[in-house]
């Protein structure tokens, strides 16, 4: 028997058709990929736009005033996002993270959060709904986000030195406004808050200890992320990666650390606690210590492309199904078929790839796929 194929529209990097299997795949909450990895975490990008121009994500040389962002008609509506999210939850998703671009640029985002907050896991529990932001709009929006049903926020912050921070965001945005946003999020109860610092050797590595000192004892978990080879516009080089082991060593010399157990299966961050019990840090070693074996994350772009890996070159076009005649069971079956065929493990294979593979392969940009 043949499979129904939905035509592709608005392709970026050439998307793959999402197919409705001829035999339905029921949603049992126990979906696994070819390596036995379950589907537990869904990251949803709500916009491809950002008001920062960080060199490792959206460098100004590429994302200038003439960059062709997606038209509003191409974006999934809040109702379309919620409909798709419901099918993912039926397959076992327990956590939804809203990303971008900068998600707080999406108008009326609180409405979407309110819709997602009504969903329940296969066990009848509320979803863990979180959001990653650069913090620039957080001070004014934190209370409304909490009231809508958002539980936690993760804030990207690459240094406390104002000159370094302004240089890294490349739009001269002051660090003080991000710090006020973090304080507003704490006051609104959007916690526990995590702060992510991308460490780029030769650029902001001297900010590691000041960041650790600042957030120690604050109740905020500071996480250090190795500079990754995501997309093709950030000019990534391996010699700009500062290994997480070195980050831990530097902090431990001044602020003694003890290793902690993972907080959940598939946790990307290795956890370290301060020996005096005043909090913890995390390190995400996606370059030097791959965690593909336990990866349980799927990514849905703002135009409805399903990506199975942060380093993928192609997505699967779910929007065509949503805007076509597909029923909810057909949507669920299409998602299941895609996940069941998943074998992505780029980070594990990186070391064995040819020298030019990491920098020469065209992949989706982080600002499009969502971090």
Domain range for 65: 4-369
Q: What is the pLDDT of residue 324?
A: 95
> Taking the mean position of all CA atoms in its chain, how far away is CA 240?
22
Q: What is the pLDDT of residue 230?
A: 57
What tens digit of pLDDT does each residue of 124-170 get? 999 999 999 999 999 999 999 999 999 999 999 999 999 989 998 99
- Determine which helix (DSSP H) or strand (DSSP E) holds 336, and give its type and residue range: helix 328-340
Torsion over CA of 224, 299, 265 and 331, rounded to 10 degrees? 170
> Which CATH number covers residue 123?
3.20.20.70
- Tokens 């932001």 locate to 133
- Determine which helix (DSSP H) or strand (DSSP E) holds 82, and give its type and residue range: helix 78-90
Distance CA 224, CA 246 (A): 11
Average pLDDT (90-118) is 97
Contact 208, 250 (CB under 8 A): yes
CB atoms within 10 A of CB 278: 12
Contact 292, 345 (CB under 8 A): yes
Contact 301, 45 (CB under 8 A): yes
Instruction: End-to-end CA distance of the chain: give it in Å, rounded.
Output: 38
Q: How many domains does the chain have?
A: 1
pTM over 0.75: yes
Distance CA 327, CA 280 (A): 45
Q: Among residues 29, 116, 30, 43, which one has the least CA distance to residue 297?
A: 43
> Looking at the chain, which runs of residues are DSSP E strands?
4-5, 16-17, 19-20, 41-45, 95-99, 128-133, 152-156, 194-199, 221-226, 257-259, 270-274, 280-284, 297-300, 305-307, 316-317
Average pLDDT (95-102) is 96
Distance CA 364, CA 307 (A): 9
Q: What is the pLDDT of residue 9?
A: 35
Percent above pLDDT 70 for the chain: 86
pLDDT top residue among 14 and 318: 318
> Judging by DSSP bridges, how do beta strands 16-17 and 4-5 pair with one another?
unpaired
What tens digit of pLDDT does each residue of 285-305 get? 877 776 688 899 999 999 999
- Determine which helix (DSSP H) or strand (DSSP E) holds 245, and give its type and residue range: helix 244-254
Q: How many CA atoms lie within 13 A of 281 on its CB side?
A: 28
Q: Using 50, 70 and 90 to split pLDDT, how confident is the model at 5?
A: very low
What tens digit of pLDDT does each residue of 35-65 get? 999 999 999 999 999 999 988 788 898 899 9
User: Is 108 buried (19+), middle (13-18) or exposed (0-12) by CB count in 10 A?
Assistant: exposed
Least-confidence region, from 198-202, 258-262, 356-360 = 356-360
């Amino acid at each position: 028997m043949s499979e129904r194929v939905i035509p592709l529209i608005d392709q970026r990097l050439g998307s793959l058709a999402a197919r409705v299997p001829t035999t339905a795949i029921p949603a049992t909450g126990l979906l696994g990929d070819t390596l036995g990895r379950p589907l537990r975490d869904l990251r949803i990008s709500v916009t491809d736009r950002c008001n920062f121009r960080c060199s490792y994500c959206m460098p100004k040389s590429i994302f200038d005033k003439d960059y062709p962002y997606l038209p509003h008609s191409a974006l999934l509506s809040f109702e379309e996002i919620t409909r798709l999210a419901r099918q993912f939850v039926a397959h076992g998703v327990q956590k939804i993270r809203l990303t971008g671009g900068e998600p707080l640029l999406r108008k009326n985002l609180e409405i979407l959060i309110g819709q997602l907050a009504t969903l329940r896991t296969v066990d009848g529990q509320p979803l863990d709904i979180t959001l990653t932001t650069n913090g620039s709009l957080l001070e004014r929006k934190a209370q409304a986000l909490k009231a809508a049903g958002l539980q936690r926020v993760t804030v990207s912050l690459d240094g406390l030195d104002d000159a370094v921070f302004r240089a890294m965001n490349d739009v001269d945005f002051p660090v003080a406004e991000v710090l006020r946003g973090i304080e507003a999020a704490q006051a609104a109860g959007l916690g526990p808050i995590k702060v992510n610092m991308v460490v780029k050797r030769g650029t902001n590595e001297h900010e590691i200890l000041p960041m650790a000192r600042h957030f120690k004892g604050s109740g905020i978990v500071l996480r250090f992320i190795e500079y990754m080879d995501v997309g093709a516009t950030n000019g990534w080089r391996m010699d700009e990666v500062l290994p997480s082991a070195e980050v831990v060593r530097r902090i431990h010399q001044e602020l003694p650390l003890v290793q902690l157990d993972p907080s959940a299966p598939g946790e990307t961050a290795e956890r370290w606690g301060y020996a005096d019990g005043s909090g913890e840090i995390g390190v995400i070693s996606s370059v030097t210590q791959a965690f593909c074996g336990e990866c349980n994350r799927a990514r849905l772009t703002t135009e409805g492309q399903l990506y199975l890996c942060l380093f993928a070159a192609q997505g699967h076009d779910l929007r065509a199904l949503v805007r076509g005649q597909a029923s909810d069971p057909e949507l669920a079956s299409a998602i299941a078929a895609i996940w069941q065929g998943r074998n992505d493990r780029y980070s594990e294979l990186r070391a064995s790839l040819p020298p030019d593979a990491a920098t020469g392969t065209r992949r989706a940009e982080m600002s499009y796929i969502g971090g």
